[in-house]
Amino acid sequence: MGNYLNPGNSGFTRIRNDVYVDKSGLIGLINQTIDTPRCLTCISRPRRFGKSFAAKMLCAYYDKTCDSSHLFDDLIIAEDKQYLEYLNKYDVIYLDMTNIIGEAGKKEIISYIKRKVSEELVNAYPGLKVDKESISTTLINAVELTGNKFIAIIDEWDAPIREIPDIQKEYLEFLRTLFKSSGTTDKIFAAAYMTGILPIKKDGSQSAISDFEEFSMIKPRKFGPYVGFTEAEVRDLCRDYSVDFTKMKQWYDGYAFRGVDSVYNPNSVMKAIRNDDFDSYWTETSAAVSLMGYISLDFDGLSKTVAELIGGISIKVDTKGFANDLVTFRNRDDVLTLLIHLGYLAYDEETQTVHIPNEELRREFARTIREVKRDETIRRVRESDRLIYDTVHGNAEAVAAQIEKIHAEETAALFYNDEQALRSVIKLAYFSYKDHYLKFEELPAGDGYADIVYLPKKDSMLPALVIEMKWNKSVEGAIAQIKEKHYPDAVKGHGGDVLLVGINYDKDAPAGKRKHECVIERMVRA
């Protein structure tokens, strides 16, 4: 066993020795590609979404120098008809690119890989003929000597592109040499599996390594169930470890793919279970440090878009022009697309929109937005903070005026024609709520559903806000509906005061009269 050739099963053994969610079904998907034109697979996921766990699992399964049956016989993959056919049957080349950068230094990683892989091949097969000029030729010689093709597993494949832009061209050319469609690749690899944060780097108008099938956060396709934890898996964990599933869903759910309704951040779920505490574990990753830099970029509409996202509004995005790197941005859509790949935003393929997926990341956005040093962003934060202040203090005139202002600045008259449009304006106006409140929409309450409820956090002394919206009716009718349908029952466990907030938009208001009206009433808890 070596570091780069046949690393064994010790990595997956450590994973199995801990709390383990069975993701071995992924192996079956890779087995289906072996020695087919589809044998090259690239998976991109955010940090802390189990990429390295999957790579170590595949190493343990394919590596012919160990017996891993005891690690897999009780897992889902053991039920696959190809399970025994490929179990521990291949030489595995395993490259952890993040580790290699640390070992080799930033300028020598290609020569380092060639040298180390060749050395370990010679140690394993002393009669092997090494071609010092061509790693491909050396690998072909190894296949001819052993009668056995390789499985290549490359973890964090995009680390050199993200961390060492100067060697990007050389690195991509190295990968092309190994994996570009040719008789050479066919002779060497039964299959290859690459995983990283970014999809494959585009070179001009084409992918730099065009023969890989890509599965990303935008289109994970059949790999959707293996991006994170599914809802069924999280329910089982919460049951087994006596954890509140409702809170787990609020904090770490929010991603969804075709055929997979709910996907959770696996790292955060496991930390919440181990620590018996729901928290923003995302902030412990290096990805969190970069958020401010991306949302501070000076593109038209980006500041407004971030405010809308924090307010809970889904935003249309065009993901097709993204260059698949961390530096090439042409517009707002490129920034949003990167944030999808980094896991900050969740993408809805059907509607082609993005949203902040869960409580953990809403907190991260809310914290970061206050550190962004842009005049427009500062103004938006201050205005939203003031709106919350005016609402809490019953200043209905000021609330109506600010909502009118947001409507005038942000909404085209053509689209401002129903209650849903009014809802979007209100969410944008109150976007800084995250400091003090949790937001719920269409919350079951009394004899109906409350439009928007802002429930104070445990450490907040502010009252709860129950907001009812009307379109071309009356604010008095909104307040009456809140009372008649007992909407405050939705927050009866809160224990503090509740503000009833009625907001109406009168589209036929005469000239000089404000179209938005507001009434605020306080219900004092006994």
Q: What length is written for the chain?
A: 526
pLDDT at 521 over 50: yes
pLDDT at 65 over 90: yes
User: Per-residue pLDDT averaged across 57-68, rounded?
Assistant: 98
Q: How confident is the model at residue 188 (pLDDT cuts 50, 70, 90)?
A: very high
Residue 87 CB contacts under 8 Å (≥ 6 apart), including other chains: 61, 68, 69, 72
pLDDT at 524 over 90: no
Q: How confident is the model at residue 314 (pLDDT cuts 50, 70, 90)?
A: very high
**Which tokens belong to 40?**
């090259």
CA–CA dist 298, 405 (Å, integer): 23
pLDDT at position 416 is 67
pLDDT at position 288 is 47
At 389-438, the pLDDT tens digits run 999 999 999 999 999 998 888 766 546 677 888 888 899 899 888 878 88
Residue 349's CB is within 10 A of a number of other CB atoms, namely: 14
pLDDT at position 413 is 55
Top mean pLDDT of 183-187, 219-223, 295-299, 494-498 is at 219-223
Residue 462 CB contacts under 8 Å (≥ 6 apart), including other chains: 388, 392, 436, 437, 456, 496
pLDDT at 82 over 90: yes
* Half-sphere CA count of 471, side-chain side, radius 13 A: 11
pLDDT at position 449 is 86
- Coil, strand or helix at 215: strand
- Coil, strand or helix at 313: coil
pLDDT at position 64 is 97
* Half-sphere CA count of 161, side-chain side, radius 13 A: 24
Cα–Cα separations (whole angstroms), residue 435 to 430, 431, 457, 525: 11, 10, 9, 23
pLDDT at position 494 is 75
Residue 350's CB is within 10 A of a number of other CB atoms, namely: 7
Cβ–Cβ under 8 Å, residues 190 and 34:
yes
pLDDT at position 205 is 43
Residue 218 CB contacts under 8 Å (≥ 6 apart), including other chains: 319, 337, 340, 341, 347, 349
Q: How confident is the model at residue 238 (pLDDT cuts 50, 70, 90)?
A: very high
- Coil, strand or helix at 222: helix
Residue 84 CB contacts under 8 Å (≥ 6 apart), including other chains: none
pLDDT at 38 over 80: yes
At 353-397, the pLDDT tens digits run 999 999 889 888 888 887 777 778 888 888 999 999 999 999 999
CA–CA dist 331, 134 (Å, integer): 41
Percent of the chain with pLDDT over 90: 60
User: Per-residue pLDDT averaged across 199-205, rounded?
Assistant: 66
Q: How confident is the model at residue 240 (pLDDT cuts 50, 70, 90)?
A: very high
Q: How confident is the model at residue 114 (pLDDT cuts 50, 70, 90)?
A: very high
Maximum alpha-carbon separation in the chain: 93
User: Per-residue pLDDT averaged across 502-514, rounded?
Assistant: 81
CA–CA dist 160, 221 (Å, integer): 26
Top mean pLDDT of 211-225, 459-473, 511-525 is at 211-225
CA–CA dist 273, 251 (Å, integer): 12
pLDDT at 287 over 80: no
Q: Name beta bridge partners: 192.
A: 40, 152
CA–CA dist 279, 262 (Å, integer): 20
**Is residue 232 within a helix (H) or strand (E), and if so which, with residue range?**
helix 231-240
Q: How confident is the model at residue 284 (pLDDT cuts 50, 70, 90)?
A: low
What is the CA angle 496-501-503, rounded to 5?
165
At 142-183, the pLDDT tens digits run 999 999 999 999 999 999 988 888 888 889 889 988 887 667
What is the identity of the amino acid at 520? I
Domains of the chain: 10-215 (3.40.50), 229-369 (no CATH), 375-523 (no CATH)
User: Per-residue pLDDT averaged across 115-137, rounded?
Assistant: 94
**Which tokens belong to 423?**
């809802």
- DSSP designation for 432: G
Per-position b or e across 173-188, b if 16+ CB within 10 A of its CB: ebbbebbeeeebbeeb
Q: How confident is the model at residue 285 (pLDDT cuts 50, 70, 90)?
A: low
In 3D space, the residue among 60, 79, 81, 59 whose CA is nearest the CA of residue 69 turns out to be 60
CA–CA dist 103, 346 (Å, integer): 34
pLDDT at position 359 is 87
Q: Which of 72-76, 200-204, 257-261, 491-495 has the lowest mean pLDDT?
A: 200-204
pLDDT at position 411 is 67
CA–CA dist 103, 116 (Å, integer): 11
User: Per-residue pLDDT averaged across 491-506, rounded?
Assistant: 87
**Which tokens belong to 388?**
């919350």
**How high is the mean pLDDT of the chain?**
89
Residue 408 CB contacts under 8 Å (≥ 6 apart), including other chains: none
